Amino acid sequence: MHLFNKCCLSALLIISVITPAWAGEYHLGEGYSVGDINIAGYVNVVAEAPHDGKTQVVGDDLSLFVSGRFNRYLNPFIEAEFTSATLWHQSSTVLSDNHPVFVLERLYNDSNLTDNLTLRIGKMLSPIGEWNTIHASPLVWTTTRPMTTYRSFPEYTSGVGLNYSSQNTLLPDLQLFWQPDGEIRARPRDLVTREYEHTEGVHLNWAIGLTDKVGVTLQHADIKDSNEDQTLLGFNFRKTLGKFQFETEATHTHVNGSNPARVRDDEWGAYLLGGYAINDKWSTMLRYEYFADRQVSQGSRNALVGLVWRPDPAIFWKLEYVKQDGARLNIGTGIYASFSVLF
């Protein structure tokens, strides 16, 4: 591991361990506040047993958030993490192939121009759908992430965002986002499907109750190191009915420009998830997804059944079985499990 990565990993580990010790009133999952600064984060460990690959245990995320609320115009936020740390894999000893990757997830400042209008400058999560903006493992239903929620678009925007919160329930919240060039400290190429630059978009989100929402997204981006560009239209919806919760996202992306590897100009995907709260600690869920990739002639389908145990509001154990058919993309048939905790 490079010296820089070692230093960053050591800092994350030290802060995550000693933060609770500093806090007399610390509660797991709420972070720790020192004046106007809050320190929080999460850990996610994943066990994978795909039928067509090696069984392994991965430190998927060790993530740290630091935020400040100083005044109307100075409200910085940073999220940094180590990801893809192989703790063990089949035919290997523990930690023998451990090469975690340092990722700068977010680095921005919020300026509250009015009570309803916020200017955000820096590196942020692209507001495309809902999953991408809340992607932390303790906050989502499943260990495996639907391809619809990341494969067709840039997950990050390095530039400017303008967020408007509507006070009229009939009008949507509005998010405008613009990236004038490339991504700030982009993820390593092997962790993303493709890289983007010169992006702009808008996301509209209507609240339909306390927790439910429906949203639409329109986004344009240039694909880096190519003469291709794309336009995406997205849809997201979440609804709670008693102990049941339903959510879905769909994207349709039209690609322009020449690329011999592209087999279709229109890439699209959609998933539907239904969850049921058995009691305050146990939940179960079903999920189905279809994804038609721009560079693969055959579509990819996956169906999932899973179980979640939540012994504490900040601790999650997940177990799921996935059956995959068609093109093998990011998700394969197998058993997946994870342990995650917010701190």
pLDDT, tens digit, for every residue of 307-326? 999 999 999 999 999 999 99
Q: Is 19 helix (H, G, I), strand (E, B) or coil?
A: helix
Q: How confident is the model at residue 189 (pLDDT cuts 50, 70, 90)?
A: confident
What is d(CA 326, CA 297) in angstroms, rounded to the nearest whole number? 10
Q: What residues contact residue 19 under an 8 Å CB cut-off, 6+ apart?
A: 26, 31, 32, 39, 343
Comparing C-alpha atoms, which of 51, 178, 84 is closest to residue 124?
Answer: 178
Classify domain 3-342 at the CATH class level: mainly beta
Provide the pLDDT confidence category of residue 14 given band limits of 50, 70 and 90.
Answer: very low
Distance CA 176, CA 154 (A): 15
What is residue 66's three-state secondary structure? Answer: strand
How many of the other CB atoms lie within 10 Å of CB of 90?
Answer: 9
> Does residue 21 have a pLDDT over 50?
no
Confidence grade of residue 4 (pLDDT, cut at 50, 70, 90): very low
C-alpha radius of gyration, the chain, whole number = 20
**Mean per-residue pLDDT for 252-275?**
98
Q: Does 226 or 19 have the greater pLDDT score?
A: 226
- Pick from 37-46, 97-106, 123-132: least confident: 97-106
Q: Which residues of 47-75 are buried (b: 16+ CB within 10 A; e: fewer)?
A: bbebeeeeebbbbbbbbbbbbbeeeeeeb
- Residue 145 has, within 13 A of its CA and on its CB side, a CA count of 19
Q: Do 120 and 109 meet the contact criterion of CB atoms below 8 Å apart?
A: yes
Residue 3 scores a pLDDT above 90: no
Question: How far apart are alpha carbons 274 and 262 in whole angstroms?
Answer: 33
Distance in angstroms (rounded) separating the CA atoms of residues 139 and 213: 16
The Cα-based distances of 216 to 56, 225, 246 in angstroms read: 37, 29, 17
Q: Any idea where the domains of the chain sit in the sequence?
A: 3-342
pLDDT > 70? residue 5: no
> How confident is the model at residue 95, as a pLDDT?
77
* Mean pLDDT, range 114-125, rounded to an integer: 98
Through-space distance between the first and last CA atoms of the chain, rounded to whole angstroms: 26
Q: Which two tokens mark 225?
A: 């190191």
Alpha-carbon distance of 247 to 309, in angstroms, equals 20
What's the rounded mean pLDDT across residues 111-118? Answer: 98
The predicted model scores a pTM of 0.90
More confident residue, 267 or 22: 267
Report the pLDDT value the prediction gives residue 211, as an integer from 0 to 100.
Answer: 86
**Distance in angstroms (rounded) separating the CA atoms of residues 285 and 264:** 33
Q: pLDDT value at position 267?
A: 99
Question: Across-strand partners of 218?
Answer: 202, 233
Of 196 and 94, more confident? 196
